[in-house]
Homo-oligomer: A and B are copies of this chain.
Amino acid sequence: MKHYLKVLSVALTCLLLICGMGSEIFAQTTLADVKKNRGLNDDDVLAATKTFMPRGGRDDYFAFVGTGNSGTMIVYGLPSMRIYKYVGVFSPEPWQGYGFDDESTLMLKKGSLDNRLLRYGDMRFPALSETDGKYNGKYLFYSDGANSRIALLGLDDFETKQVLMHPLFLNAFPGVAVTENTEYVIQSSEYPTPWDNKEADPETEFETKFKSGITCWSFQDTQEEAGTGHHIGRMIKENSFTLELPPFTLGYFDTGREASNGLLVGLAAYKDQSYIYVYDINKASKLETIEVHDFMVIPFQVAIDNGVFALIPVDETPHSVKVDPSGKYFITATDDAMVFDFAKVKAALDQKTYTSQSVVNVPTLDEKSLLHGTVKIGRNVIDNAFDYRPNTVYTSAFDDKKVVRWNYETLKVESAIDLTFKPGQLMTPQGNSAEPHSNYLTVVDKEGLYDNMIPIGPARPSYQHLIDISSDDMRDIYTMSLPQSNIYGSVSVLRTTIKPIIRYPLGTNTRTGEISRYKTVAGQEKIEREGNRVHVFGTLIRSHITPEIVEVEEGDVVTFHLTNLERAEDETHGFTVSTYGVHGSFEPGKTASLTMVADRPGVFPYYCTEFCSALHLEMEGIFLVRPKGYVASPETEGEIKLTLEQLAEYKKNYEDKIVVINQTQDVINSVVTYLKDNNYQNYPYVEALVVDALDQLELAKTAKANYERYAAEGKWKDAFLWAEQYWQYQVKTADVGLRAKKLLSEEISK
């Protein structure tokens, strides 16, 4: 092999010399040199090429992972495997102000026991919203196993929109599934507990007081608000219902689709015996319910009497059970994989074809008569994933260090890939939907040992591998590190199915999707006091925080309601008050509120915490807490007085800036002419940029009016700062305009 490499290297070099383009093609060093220096072979080069993302390149898929114990979601791209976001879901996240600003804190508290702010979550198997069994790219759902909460995220802005605490369960399985049109989001308990939250003796009262259950959370989507790209779906507690069950330990579950839509299959254990349960949600949704803790419950006996729930005893404990893309089969992750025929299972349930044995009064079905067949896979099987190829499934065998590709119709093993690690959970893009898509398979590495990975102290990241499954010869092409996580399940969808927004309508409370009552526009900033309650209505825009000084009395309860006035892309501002531990993130258009008790007198600078422009450091102000008993006088608020010398300096700066402004305007004018002359509105992406540019100019009008007014009044500092701000709008406009011009010229030349 070494000899061959040398031959290839020489051959390549010759080839390059022949072509006379060596230095141009292989840059500063040749491919052969890099391979030699880094100890890579041709397989490595091929693998590298499969995952490399050039500047400006976009991934084919988004993937969503629950971190397990950090309570946040990770979003990454395939095939680049770059992580794009951590999003706060079940625990506060300081960078995004999640669980810091009042809006998200209120949402989290509503979704907790006793109105407490829970700071931890255990989330593992997410589900994407579906239309006709296919991912629609609108919402994502997570279950918090530790605290039995459920969360809804919007994928237009990748934010958490709703968190609910289960009114009955004290503990949940950390996964969810949805029905074919997202009518229901399904969550189950994991370890059984009493439902009335009261103590019960686990030894003597286990059978009588401990319960398990399965909940169908009713989900209601709404139309997109015109032109905003903003969807507001919600889980409706009042329309949701829970099936009461004996004290089973419940595990992984999945929903049927097409002919099996409305059926749920999942894992249950009771007294060291494993079962697969079958639950007819459609039929159950029509049964009479009783109210327990203000929640609709189908009593156990009602469910049994109506034949909506049964158990299939199985010899081997499955690690998962998944429904195939067609909805015809469901397959267990067991060493001897069991392929169940959904039609037979449904018929048996409908016709109550029970065996003679029941389990704590739950009827059982006969495994053998429901099987399409079984296939011997390997030792310690962990998970299955489906491919776009007909009837193809991939199965991980932990102890054998391999993933097996097999056909669940013909029950034949087709091929396998030997791995260098013990494989765990599997994921194929869209593999959990009616429309699997991709040539990729991700495999969780359940070890992460030092002889495989980089030494980094006793606590390790999770690792997962990307497998190229595009041909018979499967290849392990990338080892991904997932920090701050304990990865189990994940889901992935075509990137283009998701339609992310760029900005919010001005003044949006992003958690409710509504315009906030605290929305503040430029010039309307104010401070309202009522007793010891102070409301600051402020704005954020390059490069000002208004107001510049907020003066309060020790003991006041102060809320900063801030609105980011920006309309430009990626113009996020952050806000913190020194030593008060508050933080907010304000994306363009967002309004959020930060409340604090001013319990320490002193001078506390506040400032913008995101690099927002070259004048970022100007975005600061002072939170002045006067000692108890001090009465604030309005005239102490305002700007620091300037010396005559400073005033002259600002005047000069102002005049210099006006010159620059005029020059910049010339550039804008020329761009505008070009765009108009070339019918930019015929090119959607170019048009979007122009809209962005025009938004900037609209804002600029106010800045211009301000600098002209302050200049007329001889207030040169303010005049300069507003002129500076006007110029920043101009520059952004020019910048966006030039990008639009470049794109347009490229489009035209095509």
Contacts and interface: CB of A to CB of B under 8 A. Distances in A.
**Dominant SS at the A interface?**
loop
A649 B272 contact: yes
Interface stretch (A217-225, A538-546, A598-606): A598-606
Given A486-B611, A570-B447, A578-B171, A504 B52 contact: no
A626 B194 CA distance: 13
A92 B68 contact: no
A694 interface: no
Interface size class of A (residues with CB under 8 A): 35 or more
A468 B38 CA distance: 14
Interface stretch (A69-77, A129-137, A289-297, A525-533): A69-77
A178 B636 CA distance: 41
A507 to B, nearest CB: 14
Interface string A457-471: 111110001001011
B31 A4 contact: no
A49 B48 contact: yes
Interface stretch (A81-89, A234-242, A275-283, A366-374): A81-89
Contacts of A572: 458-460
Interface in A22-61: 23, 25-29, 31, 34-35, 38-40, 42-59
A197 B601 contact: yes
B100 A147 contact: no
A28 to B, nearest CB: 3
A115 to B, nearest CB: 13
Given A210-B603, A473-B28, A601-B198, A452 B83 contact: no
Taking the full assembly, how many copies of this chain does it contain? Answer: 2
A159 interface: yes
B50 A457 contact: no
A305 to B, nearest CB: 28
Contacts of A589: 458
A194 B627 CA distance: 14
A416 interface: no
A157 to B, nearest CB: 4
A34 B49 contact: yes
B46 A26 contact: yes
Interface in A434-488: 446-461, 465, 468, 470-473, 475-476, 479-481, 483-486, 488
Interface stretch (A7-15, A307-315, A355-363, A667-675): A7-15
A104 interface: no
